[in-house]
């Protein structure tokens, strides 16, 4: 049986982070988590770019632009949608998740989901460098794995 699995090698990769400024304190921690993961795995700090968007709703458009530019091997999306803070939680969170998935499928570039969707600010803090880790770090790790996995898979026929 042949098995395909991606490793976590980051040397030589160019990576974009798309971050939502809404709930900025959390966003900054997620960005730092993503950056920490990338640098630990060999990505040069010079090869990491960041684009800030107003809120998670705007992430898909910019993630798609970065992914489609040909300048990045992967895109990591981070942000925090907190239910207690909004009456339209489901619209913002759902649009972000679906749009990010669609952008990845349309471009063929790994775009990972480090957008927290939590009930309150405490849950967001726990997941952005608190006792439950850092989802930005995890999303960066998933991006590295996907780049390496896609690189090892059979190439699509043109």
Task: Assess whether 88 carries a catalytic annotation.
Answer: yes
Q: CB-wise, 44 or 86, nearer to ligand INI?
A: 86
Q: CB-wise, 57 or 137, nearer to ligand INI?
A: 57
Annotate 17-35 with b (16+ C-beta within 10 A) or e (fewer): bbbbebbeebbbbbbbbbb
59 and 53 Cβ atoms separated by less than 8 Å: yes
CB of residue 81 to ligand INI, shortest distance in Å: 4
CB of residue 130 to ligand INI, shortest distance in Å: 18
- Nearest residue to ligand INI by CB is 55
Binding site for ligand INI (CB under 6 A): 20, 22-23, 54-58, 79-82, 85-86, 92
d(CA 5, CA 24): 35
For residue 156, give the DSSP letter: P
Catalytic pick from 12, 88, 90, 133?
A: 88
Q: State the distance between the two ends of the chain, measured CA to CA, in whole angstroms.
A: 26
Residues classed as catalytic: 88
């Amino acid at each position: 049986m042949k098995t395909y699995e991606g490793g976590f090698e980051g040397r030589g990769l160019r990576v974009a982070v798309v971050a939502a400024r809404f709930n900025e304190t959390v966003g900054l921690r997620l960005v730092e988590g993503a950056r920490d993961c990338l640098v630990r795995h060999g990505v040069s700090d010079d090869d990491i770019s960041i684009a800030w968007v107003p809120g998670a709703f705007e992430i898909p458009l910019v993630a798609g632009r970065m992914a489609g530019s040909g300048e990045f091997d992967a895109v990591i999306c981070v942000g925090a949608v907190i239910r207690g803070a909004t009456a339209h939680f489901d619209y913002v969170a759902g649009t972000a998740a679906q749009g990010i998935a669609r952008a990845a499928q349309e471009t063929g570039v790994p775009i990972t989901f480090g957008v927290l969707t939590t009930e309150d600010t405490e849950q967001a803090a726990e997941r952005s460098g608190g006792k439950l880790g850092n989802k930005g770090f995890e999303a960066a790790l998933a991006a590295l794995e996907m780049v390496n996995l896609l690189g090892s898979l059979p190439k699509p026929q043109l």
